[in-house]
Chains A and B, each alone.
Chain A
Protein backbone atom coordinates (compact mmCIF):
# COMPACT_ATOMS: atom_id res chain seq x y z
CA UNK A 1 0.00 0.00 0.00
CA UNK A 2 2.80 2.33 1.01
CA UNK A 3 4.71 1.41 -2.14
CA UNK A 4 1.68 2.14 -4.31
CA UNK A 5 1.21 5.51 -2.71
CA UNK A 6 4.85 6.38 -3.23
CA UNK A 7 4.85 5.37 -6.86
CA UNK A 8 1.69 7.41 -7.48
CA UNK A 9 3.29 10.39 -5.77
CA UNK A 10 6.37 10.00 -7.93
CA UNK A 11 4.27 9.77 -11.08
CA UNK A 12 2.20 12.82 -10.22
CA UNK A 13 5.33 14.77 -9.33
CA UNK A 14 6.88 13.79 -12.66
CA UNK A 15 3.79 14.80 -14.57
CA UNK A 16 3.63 18.16 -12.81
CA UNK A 17 7.33 18.70 -13.48
CA UNK A 18 6.79 18.32 -17.21
CA UNK A 19 3.30 19.73 -17.53
CA UNK A 20 3.41 22.86 -15.36
CA UNK A 21 5.84 24.82 -17.55
CA UNK A 22 3.87 23.75 -20.61
CA UNK A 23 0.59 24.81 -19.05
CA UNK A 24 2.13 28.08 -17.90
CA UNK A 25 3.48 28.74 -21.36
CA UNK A 26 0.20 27.85 -23.06
CA UNK A 27 -1.72 29.98 -20.60
CA UNK A 28 0.59 32.93 -21.13
CA UNK A 29 0.31 32.59 -24.92
CA UNK A 30 -3.47 33.05 -24.60
CA UNK A 31 -3.19 36.31 -22.64
CA UNK A 32 -2.36 38.73 -25.43
CA UNK A 33 -5.65 40.52 -25.04
CA UNK A 34 -5.83 42.05 -21.58
CA UNK A 35 -8.24 40.39 -19.13
CA UNK A 36 -9.55 37.57 -21.36
CA UNK A 37 -8.14 34.45 -22.98
CA UNK A 38 -7.80 34.77 -26.72
CA UNK A 39 -5.96 33.22 -29.66
CA UNK A 40 -4.67 36.63 -30.76
CA UNK A 41 -1.02 35.63 -30.39
CA UNK A 42 -1.58 32.58 -32.58
CA UNK A 43 -3.42 34.65 -35.15
CA UNK A 44 -0.54 37.13 -35.27
CA UNK A 45 2.06 34.38 -35.62
CA UNK A 46 0.19 32.41 -38.23
CA UNK A 47 -0.64 35.51 -40.24
CA UNK A 48 2.97 36.67 -40.27
CA UNK A 49 4.28 36.09 -43.81
CA UNK A 50 7.77 35.62 -42.36
CA UNK A 51 6.45 32.72 -40.30
CA UNK A 52 4.91 31.08 -43.32
CA UNK A 53 8.01 31.59 -45.44
CA UNK A 54 10.54 30.42 -42.86
CA UNK A 55 8.45 27.51 -41.69
CA UNK A 56 7.80 26.39 -45.25
CA UNK A 57 11.50 26.68 -46.03
CA UNK A 58 12.49 24.64 -42.99
CA UNK A 59 9.90 21.94 -43.70
CA UNK A 60 11.20 21.66 -47.25
CA UNK A 61 14.79 21.52 -45.99
CA UNK A 62 13.78 18.87 -43.46
CA UNK A 63 12.20 16.72 -46.16
CA UNK A 64 15.26 17.07 -48.40
CA UNK A 65 17.52 16.23 -45.45
CA UNK A 66 15.44 13.16 -44.64
CA UNK A 67 15.57 11.91 -48.23
CA UNK A 68 19.29 12.56 -48.44
CA UNK A 69 19.85 10.96 -45.02
CA UNK A 70 17.89 7.84 -45.91
CA UNK A 71 19.73 7.47 -49.21
CA UNK A 72 23.04 7.89 -47.41
CA UNK A 73 22.45 5.95 -44.22
CA UNK A 74 20.35 2.94 -45.25
CA UNK A 75 22.76 1.61 -47.89
CA UNK A 76 25.75 2.39 -45.66
CA UNK A 77 24.36 0.68 -42.57
CA UNK A 78 23.22 -2.24 -44.72
CA UNK A 79 26.59 -2.63 -46.37
CA UNK A 80 28.43 -2.42 -43.08
CA UNK A 81 26.21 -5.10 -41.56
CA UNK A 82 26.51 -7.32 -44.61
CA UNK A 83 30.12 -7.02 -45.68
CA UNK A 84 32.11 -5.07 -43.09
CA UNK A 85 30.92 -6.16 -39.66
CA UNK A 86 34.41 -5.45 -38.36
CA UNK A 87 34.09 -1.81 -39.36
CA UNK A 88 30.95 -1.21 -37.30
CA UNK A 89 32.68 0.31 -34.24
CA UNK A 90 34.52 2.80 -36.48
CA UNK A 91 31.39 3.72 -38.42
CA UNK A 92 29.51 4.19 -35.16
CA UNK A 93 32.30 6.41 -33.87
CA UNK A 94 32.18 8.55 -37.00
CA UNK A 95 28.40 8.85 -36.85
CA UNK A 96 28.64 9.99 -33.23
CA UNK A 97 31.14 12.77 -34.01
CA UNK A 98 28.45 15.38 -34.78
CA UNK A 99 27.32 15.07 -31.17
CA UNK A 100 30.66 16.29 -29.87
CA UNK A 101 31.63 18.73 -32.61
CA UNK A 102 29.56 21.92 -32.22
CA UNK A 103 27.50 22.97 -35.20
CA UNK A 104 29.33 26.27 -35.29
CA UNK A 105 32.64 24.49 -35.87
CA UNK A 106 31.15 22.44 -38.67
CA UNK A 107 29.59 25.44 -40.37
CA UNK A 108 32.80 27.46 -40.15
CA UNK A 109 34.59 24.53 -41.68
CA UNK A 110 32.03 24.49 -44.48
CA UNK A 111 32.39 28.17 -45.11
CA UNK A 112 36.16 27.89 -45.26
CA UNK A 113 36.08 24.89 -47.57
CA UNK A 114 33.27 25.83 -49.91
CA UNK A 115 33.51 29.64 -50.08
CA UNK A 116 33.42 31.52 -53.35
CA UNK A 117 37.18 31.32 -53.85
CA UNK A 118 37.41 27.59 -53.14
CA UNK A 119 37.53 24.63 -55.53
CA UNK A 120 33.82 24.01 -54.99
CA UNK A 121 32.15 27.42 -54.46
CA UNK A 122 28.87 26.18 -52.97
CA UNK A 123 28.25 29.35 -51.01
CA UNK A 124 28.35 31.33 -54.24
CA UNK A 125 24.73 30.53 -55.16
CA UNK A 126 21.45 30.12 -53.29
CA UNK A 127 21.01 26.52 -54.48
CA UNK A 128 24.60 25.72 -53.52
CA UNK A 129 24.11 27.17 -50.05
CA UNK A 130 20.87 25.26 -49.65
CA UNK A 131 22.67 22.06 -50.60
CA UNK A 132 25.43 22.89 -48.13
CA UNK A 133 22.85 23.54 -45.40
CA UNK A 134 21.12 20.26 -46.17
CA UNK A 135 24.45 18.45 -45.90
CA UNK A 136 25.03 20.15 -42.56
CA UNK A 137 21.59 19.13 -41.31
CA UNK A 138 22.22 15.55 -42.46
CA UNK A 139 25.47 15.60 -40.49
CA UNK A 140 23.69 16.82 -37.36
CA UNK A 141 21.02 14.14 -37.76
CA UNK A 142 23.51 11.40 -38.56
CA UNK A 143 23.89 9.98 -35.02
CA UNK A 144 20.12 9.51 -34.65
CA UNK A 145 19.50 8.37 -38.20
CA UNK A 146 22.31 5.83 -38.23
CA UNK A 147 21.47 4.38 -34.83
CA UNK A 148 17.80 3.89 -35.56
CA UNK A 149 18.43 2.34 -38.98
CA UNK A 150 21.13 0.07 -37.58
CA UNK A 151 18.79 -1.04 -34.81
CA UNK A 152 16.13 -1.71 -37.42
CA UNK A 153 18.54 -3.83 -39.44
CA UNK A 154 19.32 -5.87 -36.36
CA UNK A 155 15.75 -7.18 -36.27
CA UNK A 156 16.04 -8.87 -39.67
CA UNK A 157 18.46 -11.48 -40.96
CA UNK A 158 20.16 -9.17 -43.44
CA UNK A 159 22.59 -11.76 -44.80
CA UNK A 160 20.12 -14.53 -45.54
CA UNK A 161 17.43 -12.21 -46.91
CA UNK A 162 20.02 -10.71 -49.24
CA UNK A 163 21.13 -14.12 -50.44
CA UNK A 164 17.53 -15.24 -50.91
CA UNK A 165 16.82 -12.17 -53.02
CA UNK A 166 20.03 -12.64 -54.99
CA UNK A 167 19.23 -16.25 -55.76
CA UNK A 168 15.89 -15.02 -57.12
CA UNK A 169 17.73 -12.77 -59.52
CA UNK A 170 17.57 -9.44 -57.67
CA UNK A 171 20.38 -6.89 -57.96
CA UNK A 172 21.56 -4.52 -55.23
CA UNK A 173 19.08 -1.76 -56.01
CA UNK A 174 16.09 -4.14 -55.93
CA UNK A 175 17.30 -5.71 -52.70
CA UNK A 176 17.65 -2.31 -51.02
CA UNK A 177 14.42 -0.85 -52.35
CA UNK A 178 12.13 -3.87 -52.10
CA UNK A 179 13.49 -5.85 -49.18
CA UNK A 180 15.78 -3.88 -46.89
CA UNK A 181 14.11 -0.45 -46.85
CA UNK A 182 10.53 -1.72 -46.29
CA UNK A 183 11.73 -3.89 -43.43
CA UNK A 184 13.44 -1.02 -41.63
CA UNK A 185 10.78 1.54 -42.54
CA UNK A 186 9.60 2.14 -38.99
CA UNK A 187 13.20 2.61 -37.85
CA UNK A 188 13.79 4.96 -40.79
CA UNK A 189 10.67 6.89 -39.83
CA UNK A 190 11.76 7.38 -36.25
CA UNK A 191 15.12 8.57 -37.58
CA UNK A 192 13.27 10.82 -40.01
CA UNK A 193 11.16 12.26 -37.22
CA UNK A 194 14.23 13.14 -35.18
CA UNK A 195 15.78 14.67 -38.27
CA UNK A 196 12.64 16.73 -38.80
CA UNK A 197 12.71 17.98 -35.21
CA UNK A 198 16.40 18.88 -35.45
CA UNK A 199 16.05 20.73 -38.75
CA UNK A 200 12.96 22.71 -37.70
CA UNK A 201 14.65 24.04 -34.59
CA UNK A 202 18.21 24.40 -35.89
CA UNK A 203 19.62 27.93 -35.56
CA UNK A 204 23.39 28.04 -35.89
CA UNK A 205 23.91 26.65 -39.38
CA UNK A 206 20.98 28.45 -40.93
CA UNK A 207 21.96 31.75 -39.34
CA UNK A 208 25.62 31.54 -40.34
CA UNK A 209 24.82 30.43 -43.88
CA UNK A 210 22.24 33.25 -43.93
CA UNK A 211 19.30 31.12 -45.00
CA UNK A 212 15.70 32.16 -44.09
CA UNK A 213 15.00 29.16 -41.84
CA UNK A 214 12.58 28.75 -38.96
CA UNK A 215 15.25 28.66 -36.25
CA UNK A 216 16.56 32.20 -36.83
CA UNK A 217 12.95 33.41 -37.15
CA UNK A 218 12.07 31.98 -33.73
CA UNK A 219 15.17 33.60 -32.29
CA UNK A 220 14.26 36.96 -33.82
CA UNK A 221 10.70 36.76 -32.58
CA UNK A 222 11.81 35.69 -29.11
CA UNK A 223 14.11 38.67 -28.84
CA UNK A 224 11.47 41.22 -29.81
CA UNK A 225 8.02 40.04 -28.74
CA UNK A 226 6.31 38.86 -25.56
CA UNK A 227 3.24 36.78 -26.38
CA UNK A 228 4.11 35.38 -29.81
CA UNK A 229 7.13 33.21 -28.82
CA UNK A 230 5.13 31.03 -26.41
CA UNK A 231 2.42 30.68 -29.06
CA UNK A 232 5.13 29.61 -31.49
CA UNK A 233 6.44 27.10 -28.96
CA UNK A 234 2.97 25.61 -28.51
CA UNK A 235 2.66 25.31 -32.29
CA UNK A 236 6.06 23.58 -32.39
CA UNK A 237 4.91 21.12 -29.74
CA UNK A 238 1.75 20.40 -31.65
CA UNK A 239 3.76 19.65 -34.78
CA UNK A 240 6.06 17.35 -32.81
CA UNK A 241 3.16 15.41 -31.35
CA UNK A 242 1.50 15.18 -34.74
CA UNK A 243 4.71 13.64 -36.10
CA UNK A 244 4.73 11.07 -33.31
CA UNK A 245 1.10 10.26 -34.01
CA UNK A 246 1.94 9.80 -37.68
CA UNK A 247 4.67 7.32 -36.83
CA UNK A 248 2.23 5.34 -34.71
CA UNK A 249 -0.25 5.39 -37.58
CA UNK A 250 2.27 4.12 -40.11
CA UNK A 251 3.36 1.37 -37.71
CA UNK A 252 -0.27 0.40 -37.32
CA UNK A 253 -0.76 0.21 -41.07
CA UNK A 254 2.25 -1.94 -41.92
CA UNK A 255 0.84 -5.30 -40.95
CA UNK A 256 4.04 -7.30 -40.94
CA UNK A 257 5.51 -4.94 -38.35
CA UNK A 258 2.70 -5.69 -35.94
CA UNK A 259 3.73 -9.31 -35.70
CA UNK A 260 7.23 -8.45 -34.68
CA UNK A 261 6.27 -6.10 -31.88
Chain B
Protein backbone atom coordinates (compact mmCIF):
# COMPACT_ATOMS: atom_id res chain seq x y z
CA UNK B 1 0.00 0.00 0.00
CA UNK B 2 1.37 3.35 -1.05
CA UNK B 3 1.78 6.33 1.29
CA UNK B 4 -0.76 8.39 -0.61
CA UNK B 5 -3.42 6.29 -2.27
CA UNK B 6 -5.98 7.65 -4.70
CA UNK B 7 -8.48 5.00 -5.68
CA UNK B 8 -11.14 5.29 -8.37
CA UNK B 9 -11.54 9.05 -8.01
CA UNK B 10 -14.43 10.51 -9.96
CA UNK B 11 -15.43 14.16 -10.04
CA UNK B 12 -18.50 15.46 -11.78
CA UNK B 13 -19.46 19.12 -12.11
CA UNK B 14 -23.09 19.11 -13.21
CA UNK B 15 -23.12 16.79 -16.20
CA UNK B 16 -19.41 17.32 -16.88
CA UNK B 17 -17.19 14.45 -15.79
CA UNK B 18 -13.88 16.14 -15.15
CA UNK B 19 -12.09 13.20 -13.54
CA UNK B 20 -12.99 9.66 -14.55
CA UNK B 21 -11.84 6.73 -12.45
CA UNK B 22 -8.42 8.07 -11.51
CA UNK B 23 -6.22 5.78 -9.42
CA UNK B 24 -2.68 6.40 -8.32
CA UNK B 25 -0.40 5.25 -5.54
CA UNK B 26 2.43 7.51 -4.45
CA UNK B 27 5.24 6.29 -2.24
CA UNK B 28 6.61 8.22 0.70
CA UNK B 29 9.12 10.80 -0.44
CA UNK B 30 8.17 10.44 -4.08
CA UNK B 31 7.84 13.43 -6.42
CA UNK B 32 5.02 12.84 -8.88
CA UNK B 33 3.93 15.27 -11.58
CA UNK B 34 0.47 15.45 -13.06
CA UNK B 35 1.00 16.61 -16.61
CA UNK B 36 -1.63 17.45 -19.16
CA UNK B 37 -3.32 20.16 -21.19
CA UNK B 38 -5.73 22.57 -19.49
CA UNK B 39 -9.02 20.92 -18.68
CA UNK B 40 -7.52 17.44 -18.36
CA UNK B 41 -8.51 17.22 -14.70
CA UNK B 42 -5.03 17.46 -13.17
CA UNK B 43 -5.84 20.46 -10.99
CA UNK B 44 -9.14 18.88 -9.93
CA UNK B 45 -7.26 15.77 -8.75
CA UNK B 46 -4.89 17.98 -6.77
CA UNK B 47 -7.76 19.96 -5.26
CA UNK B 48 -9.44 16.72 -4.23
CA UNK B 49 -6.27 15.64 -2.43
CA UNK B 50 -6.19 19.05 -0.74
CA UNK B 51 -9.86 18.78 0.19
CA UNK B 52 -11.04 21.86 -1.71
CA UNK B 53 -13.20 19.62 -3.87
CA UNK B 54 -14.99 16.52 -2.67
CA UNK B 55 -14.77 13.55 -5.02
CA UNK B 56 -18.08 12.33 -6.45
CA UNK B 57 -16.80 8.85 -5.66
CA UNK B 58 -13.53 7.19 -4.77
CA UNK B 59 -11.16 7.39 -1.83
CA UNK B 60 -8.10 9.32 -0.76
CA UNK B 61 -5.90 7.66 1.84
CA UNK B 62 -2.84 9.33 3.35
CA UNK B 63 -0.54 7.17 5.47
CA UNK B 64 -3.31 4.65 6.11
CA UNK B 65 -5.85 7.32 7.12
CA UNK B 66 -8.87 7.79 4.91
CA UNK B 67 -9.09 11.57 4.50
CA UNK B 68 -11.81 11.63 1.83
CA UNK B 69 -14.38 13.22 4.13
CA UNK B 70 -11.96 15.42 6.10
CA UNK B 71 -12.00 19.18 5.68
CA UNK B 72 -8.89 20.81 4.13
CA UNK B 73 -7.71 22.18 7.46
CA UNK B 74 -7.76 18.72 9.02
CA UNK B 75 -5.67 16.96 6.38
CA UNK B 76 -2.18 18.21 7.24
CA UNK B 77 -1.22 18.95 3.68
CA UNK B 78 0.87 21.86 2.40
CA UNK B 79 -0.13 23.66 -0.75
CA UNK B 80 1.60 26.16 -3.01
CA UNK B 81 -0.52 28.12 -5.46
CA UNK B 82 0.21 29.64 -8.84
CA UNK B 83 -0.69 33.10 -7.54
CA UNK B 84 1.58 32.74 -4.45
CA UNK B 85 -1.35 33.60 -2.16
CA UNK B 86 0.82 35.10 0.55
CA UNK B 87 -1.23 36.91 3.19
CA UNK B 88 -0.67 40.59 2.32
CA UNK B 89 -1.34 41.76 5.88
CA UNK B 90 1.40 39.60 7.39
CA UNK B 91 5.17 39.88 7.14
CA UNK B 92 7.21 37.11 5.55
CA UNK B 93 8.02 35.63 8.96
CA UNK B 94 4.36 35.83 10.02
CA UNK B 95 3.32 34.17 6.78
CA UNK B 96 5.74 31.30 7.32
CA UNK B 97 4.70 31.01 10.95
CA UNK B 98 0.95 31.13 10.23
CA UNK B 99 0.44 27.38 10.11
CA UNK B 100 2.50 26.89 13.26
CA UNK B 101 0.49 29.52 15.11
CA UNK B 102 -2.76 27.90 14.02
CA UNK B 103 -1.42 24.57 15.26
CA UNK B 104 -0.79 26.21 18.65
CA UNK B 105 3.00 26.03 18.65
CA UNK B 106 4.81 28.17 21.21
CA UNK B 107 6.41 31.48 20.27
CA UNK B 108 10.04 30.50 20.64
CA UNK B 109 9.55 27.23 18.86
CA UNK B 110 7.71 29.01 16.04
CA UNK B 111 10.47 31.58 15.69
CA UNK B 112 13.10 28.86 15.50
CA UNK B 113 11.14 26.98 12.87
CA UNK B 114 10.52 30.14 10.82
CA UNK B 115 14.23 30.97 10.90
CA UNK B 116 15.02 27.44 9.81
CA UNK B 117 12.53 27.57 6.93
CA UNK B 118 13.74 30.97 5.74
CA UNK B 119 17.29 29.64 5.71
CA UNK B 120 16.10 26.60 3.76
CA UNK B 121 14.68 28.79 0.98
CA UNK B 122 17.70 31.05 1.00
CA UNK B 123 15.95 34.18 2.31
CA UNK B 124 17.20 34.33 5.91
CA UNK B 125 17.03 38.14 6.16
CA UNK B 126 13.59 38.60 4.65
CA UNK B 127 11.61 37.76 7.79
CA UNK B 128 10.50 41.34 8.58
CA UNK B 129 9.73 42.21 4.92
CA UNK B 130 6.21 42.49 3.54
CA UNK B 131 5.22 40.21 0.68
CA UNK B 132 4.84 43.13 -1.73
CA UNK B 133 8.52 43.98 -1.24
CA UNK B 134 9.61 40.64 -2.71
CA UNK B 135 10.00 39.55 -6.33
CA UNK B 136 7.72 36.87 -7.74
CA UNK B 137 10.34 34.16 -7.30
CA UNK B 138 11.00 35.20 -3.71
CA UNK B 139 7.27 35.29 -2.94
CA UNK B 140 6.86 31.79 -4.29
CA UNK B 141 9.77 30.57 -2.18
CA UNK B 142 8.14 32.11 0.88
CA UNK B 143 4.91 30.36 -0.08
CA UNK B 144 6.88 27.10 -0.23
CA UNK B 145 8.41 27.74 3.19
CA UNK B 146 4.95 28.56 4.57
CA UNK B 147 3.55 25.32 3.20
CA UNK B 148 6.45 23.27 4.56
CA UNK B 149 6.73 24.89 8.00
CA UNK B 150 4.03 22.82 9.74
CA UNK B 151 5.65 19.60 8.42
CA UNK B 152 2.75 18.49 6.23
CA UNK B 153 2.34 14.87 5.20
CA UNK B 154 1.98 15.74 1.54
CA UNK B 155 3.09 18.79 -0.42
CA UNK B 156 0.85 19.90 -3.27
CA UNK B 157 2.19 22.27 -5.91
CA UNK B 158 -0.41 23.80 -8.22
CA UNK B 159 1.52 25.17 -11.21
CA UNK B 160 3.79 27.08 -8.85
CA UNK B 161 6.15 28.25 -11.58
CA UNK B 162 3.68 29.41 -14.21
CA UNK B 163 3.57 33.03 -13.11
CA UNK B 164 7.36 33.44 -13.10
CA UNK B 165 9.70 34.42 -15.89
CA UNK B 166 11.74 31.77 -17.69
CA UNK B 167 15.03 32.06 -15.85
CA UNK B 168 13.52 32.12 -12.36
CA UNK B 169 11.29 29.23 -13.39
CA UNK B 170 14.26 26.96 -14.08
CA UNK B 171 16.27 27.94 -11.01
CA UNK B 172 13.27 27.70 -8.70
CA UNK B 173 12.23 24.31 -10.00
CA UNK B 174 15.71 22.97 -9.25
CA UNK B 175 15.49 24.52 -5.82
CA UNK B 176 12.07 23.01 -5.15
CA UNK B 177 13.38 19.61 -6.16
CA UNK B 178 16.46 19.97 -3.95
CA UNK B 179 14.36 21.00 -0.93
CA UNK B 180 11.89 18.19 -1.60
CA UNK B 181 14.74 15.61 -1.72
CA UNK B 182 16.27 17.13 1.37
CA UNK B 183 13.07 16.85 3.41
CA UNK B 184 11.93 13.63 1.75
CA UNK B 185 8.40 14.97 1.50
CA UNK B 186 5.82 13.26 -0.67
CA UNK B 187 4.94 15.73 -3.41
CA UNK B 188 2.39 16.13 -6.18
CA UNK B 189 3.23 18.74 -8.77
CA UNK B 190 0.68 19.92 -11.31
CA UNK B 191 1.92 21.44 -14.53
CA UNK B 192 1.11 21.78 -18.20
CA UNK B 193 4.79 22.23 -19.05
CA UNK B 194 6.28 18.90 -20.13
CA UNK B 195 9.88 20.02 -19.75
CA UNK B 196 9.14 21.00 -16.15
CA UNK B 197 7.46 17.67 -15.45
CA UNK B 198 10.20 15.60 -17.05
CA UNK B 199 13.07 17.41 -15.39
CA UNK B 200 11.75 17.47 -11.84
CA UNK B 201 9.83 14.24 -11.24
CA UNK B 202 10.38 10.70 -10.05
CA UNK B 203 7.26 9.75 -11.94
CA UNK B 204 5.06 11.55 -14.41
CA UNK B 205 1.33 11.01 -14.80
CA UNK B 206 0.19 12.16 -18.23
CA UNK B 207 -3.49 13.06 -18.03
CA UNK B 208 -6.01 13.62 -20.76
CA UNK B 209 -9.78 13.93 -20.59
CA UNK B 210 -9.91 13.08 -16.90
CA UNK B 211 -7.93 9.83 -17.07
CA UNK B 212 -4.29 8.95 -16.56
CA UNK B 213 -3.02 8.00 -20.01
CA UNK B 214 0.36 6.85 -18.77
CA UNK B 215 2.18 6.67 -15.45
CA UNK B 216 5.93 6.19 -15.54
CA UNK B 217 9.36 7.64 -15.03
CA UNK B 218 10.18 10.64 -17.22
CA UNK B 219 12.46 8.35 -19.25
CA UNK B 220 9.66 5.84 -19.85
CA UNK B 221 7.05 8.44 -20.67
CA UNK B 222 9.32 10.17 -23.14
CA UNK B 223 10.82 7.13 -24.81
CA UNK B 224 8.03 4.59 -24.56
CA UNK B 225 4.81 6.57 -24.76
CA UNK B 226 1.91 4.15 -24.41
CA UNK B 227 -0.64 6.16 -26.33
CA UNK B 228 -0.64 8.50 -29.28
CA UNK B 229 -1.69 11.35 -26.99
CA UNK B 230 1.26 10.85 -24.66
CA UNK B 231 3.65 10.60 -27.58
CA UNK B 232 2.34 13.86 -29.00
CA UNK B 233 1.95 15.79 -25.77
CA UNK B 234 5.32 14.96 -24.25
CA UNK B 235 8.10 16.33 -26.38
CA UNK B 236 8.16 17.02 -30.12
CA UNK B 237 7.32 14.13 -32.35
CA UNK B 238 7.71 13.34 -36.04
CA UNK B 239 4.98 11.10 -37.31
CA UNK B 240 5.15 8.97 -40.45
CA UNK B 241 2.83 6.62 -42.22
CA UNK B 242 4.34 3.35 -43.29
CA UNK B 243 2.98 0.38 -45.20
CA UNK B 244 3.21 -3.06 -43.68
CA UNK B 245 5.11 -5.54 -45.88
CA UNK B 246 5.46 -8.54 -43.60
CA UNK B 247 3.61 -8.41 -40.28
CA UNK B 248 5.40 -11.44 -38.81
CA UNK B 249 8.89 -9.92 -39.03
CA UNK B 250 7.89 -6.28 -38.79
CA UNK B 251 9.03 -5.36 -42.28
CA UNK B 252 7.70 -1.99 -43.45
CA UNK B 253 8.07 0.37 -46.33
CA UNK B 254 8.54 4.03 -45.43
CA UNK B 255 8.51 6.48 -48.31
CA UNK B 256 9.67 3.75 -50.66
CA UNK B 257 12.52 2.71 -48.37
CA UNK B 258 12.33 -0.73 -46.74
CA UNK B 259 12.96 -1.02 -43.02
CA UNK B 260 12.50 -3.71 -40.42
CA UNK B 261 11.30 -3.11 -36.87
CA UNK B 262 12.42 -6.60 -35.94
CA UNK B 263 9.23 -7.33 -33.99
CA UNK B 264 5.94 -8.81 -35.09
CA UNK B 265 3.06 -6.42 -35.82
CA UNK B 266 -0.64 -6.91 -35.32
CA UNK B 267 -1.51 -5.02 -38.52
CA UNK B 268 -2.23 -6.91 -41.75
CA UNK B 269 -0.03 -6.83 -44.81
CA UNK B 270 -0.66 -3.72 -46.88
CA UNK B 271 -2.15 -1.79 -43.94
CA UNK B 272 -0.94 1.71 -43.05
CA UNK B 273 0.49 2.16 -39.57
CA UNK B 274 1.70 5.24 -37.70
CA UNK B 275 5.32 5.57 -36.75
CA UNK B 276 6.91 8.29 -34.64
CA UNK B 277 10.40 9.52 -33.99
CA UNK B 278 11.87 12.05 -31.59
CA UNK B 279 13.75 14.90 -33.26
CA UNK B 280 17.01 13.81 -31.63
CA UNK B 281 16.66 10.31 -33.16
CA UNK B 282 16.81 11.71 -36.69
CA UNK B 283 20.19 12.53 -38.12
CA UNK B 284 20.98 14.86 -40.99
CA UNK B 285 23.17 12.97 -43.42
CA UNK B 286 24.38 9.41 -42.96
CA UNK B 287 25.72 8.11 -39.68
CA UNK B 288 26.97 4.74 -38.48
CA UNK B 289 24.23 2.69 -36.81
CA UNK B 290 21.41 4.55 -38.58
CA UNK B 291 20.57 2.10 -41.27
CA UNK B 292 17.44 3.75 -42.71
CA UNK B 293 18.32 6.57 -45.10
CA UNK B 294 15.69 8.82 -46.68
CA UNK B 295 16.22 11.59 -49.23
CA UNK B 296 15.25 14.97 -47.77
CA UNK B 297 15.11 18.69 -48.51
CA UNK B 298 15.97 21.22 -45.81
CA UNK B 299 13.04 23.59 -45.29
CA UNK B 300 13.80 25.58 -42.13
CA UNK B 301 16.84 26.05 -39.94
CA UNK B 302 16.52 27.43 -36.41
CA UNK B 303 19.83 28.09 -34.77
CA UNK B 304 19.13 28.11 -31.03
CA UNK B 305 22.66 28.07 -29.68
CA UNK B 306 23.71 24.69 -28.44
CA UNK B 307 20.97 22.99 -30.45
CA UNK B 308 20.07 23.49 -34.11
CA UNK B 309 16.49 22.53 -34.97
CA UNK B 310 16.04 21.71 -38.63
CA UNK B 311 12.84 21.02 -40.49
CA UNK B 312 13.16 18.92 -43.61
CA UNK B 313 10.75 17.33 -46.07
CA UNK B 314 11.15 13.57 -46.25
CA UNK B 315 8.90 10.57 -46.92
CA UNK B 316 6.04 12.92 -47.79
CA UNK B 317 6.02 14.74 -44.46
CA UNK B 318 7.89 17.45 -42.58
CA UNK B 319 10.44 16.08 -40.17
CA UNK B 320 11.90 17.98 -37.21
CA UNK B 321 15.38 17.03 -36.24
CA UNK B 322 17.80 18.34 -33.65
CA UNK B 323 21.54 18.46 -34.02
CA UNK B 324 24.08 19.82 -31.62
CA UNK B 325 26.00 22.88 -32.65
CA UNK B 326 29.61 22.27 -33.63
CA UNK B 327 31.89 25.25 -34.10
CA UNK B 328 33.48 23.72 -37.23
CA UNK B 329 30.22 22.89 -39.02
CA UNK B 330 27.88 25.71 -40.06
CA UNK B 331 24.17 24.82 -40.23
CA UNK B 332 22.82 23.62 -43.60
CA UNK B 333 21.30 26.09 -46.04
CA UNK B 334 17.54 26.25 -46.56
CA UNK B 335 16.47 24.49 -49.76
CA UNK B 336 19.50 22.23 -49.75
CA UNK B 337 18.90 18.63 -50.94
CA UNK B 338 20.17 16.22 -48.37
CA UNK B 339 19.53 12.91 -46.62
CA UNK B 340 18.26 11.98 -43.21
CA UNK B 341 19.12 8.78 -41.46
CA UNK B 342 17.48 7.01 -38.56
CA UNK B 343 17.62 3.76 -36.68
CA UNK B 344 14.67 1.35 -36.71
CA UNK B 345 15.03 0.66 -32.99
CA UNK B 346 14.31 4.32 -32.13
CA UNK B 347 10.97 4.17 -33.86
CA UNK B 348 7.89 4.50 -31.61
CA UNK B 349 4.94 2.54 -32.87
CA UNK B 350 1.74 4.55 -32.51
CA UNK B 351 -1.36 2.67 -31.41
Q: Identify the A interface with B (CB < 8 A).
A: 156-157, 160-161, 163-171, 174, 178-179, 182-183, 185, 254-256, 259-260
Contact = CB atoms under 8 A, between A and B. Distances in A.
A182 B51 CA distance: 26
Contacts of B75: 167
Interface in B134-162: 143, 146-147, 150, 156
Main DSSP-derived SS at the A contact region: helix
A74 to B, nearest CB: 14
Contact of B72 (A161, A163, A183, A185): A163
A229 to B, nearest CB: 44
A193 to B, nearest CB: 20
24 contacts: A157-B85, A160-B81, A160-B83, A161-B85, A163-B50, A164-B86, A164-B87, A165-B98, A166-B51, A166-B73, A167-B72, A167-B73, A167-B79, A168-B73, A168-B99, A168-B150, A169-B73, A169-B74, A169-B150, A170-B98, A170-B102, A179-B87, A256-B132, A259-B130
A182 B95 CA distance: 14
Interface string B67-110: 00001111111110101011111000000001100110000000
A168 B85 contact: no
B99 A183 contact: no
A8 B77 CA distance: 62
A256 B89 contact: yes
Given A254-B89, A259-B130, 9 more contacts: A157-B85, A163-B79, A163-B85, A164-B81, A167-B79, A168-B73, A168-B102, A260-B88, A260-B132
B128 to A, nearest CB: 10
B313 to A, nearest CB: 48
B192 to A, nearest CB: 18
A169 B99 contact: yes
B77 A167 contact: yes
Contact of A169 (B86, B103, B132): B103
Contacts of A157: 83, 85
Contacts of B146: 164, 168
B219 interface: no
Contacts of B51: 166
Nearest to B94: A178
A119 to B, nearest CB: 37
A164, A165, A174 — most chain B CB neighbours (10 Å)? A164
Nearest to A157: B83
A171 B75 CA distance: 12
A169 B76 contact: yes
B52 interface: yes
A259 B103 CA distance: 30
B74, B85, B99, B150 — most chain A CB neighbours (10 Å)? B85
Contacts of A170: 73, 98, 102
A241 to B, nearest CB: 28
B154 to A, nearest CB: 10
A260 B150 CA distance: 29
A254 B91 CA distance: 12
Contacts of A185: 89
Nearest to B86: A164
A184 to B, nearest CB: 10
Contact of B130 (A163, A166, A256): A256
Contacts of A171: 73
Given A167-B50, A169-B103, A183 B79 contact: no
A164 B79 contact: yes
Nearest to B130: A256
A189 to B, nearest CB: 14
Contact of A183 (B73, B89, B130, B147): B89
Contacts of A161: 85, 87
A182 B90 CA distance: 9
Contacts of B133: 259
Name the 10 nearest CB pairs between A and B, nearest first: A168-B99, A259-B132, A167-B79, A182-B89, A166-B72, A164-B85, A160-B85, A169-B102, A166-B73, A169-B73
B62 to A, nearest CB: 13
A169 B50 CA distance: 11
Contacts of A183: 87-89
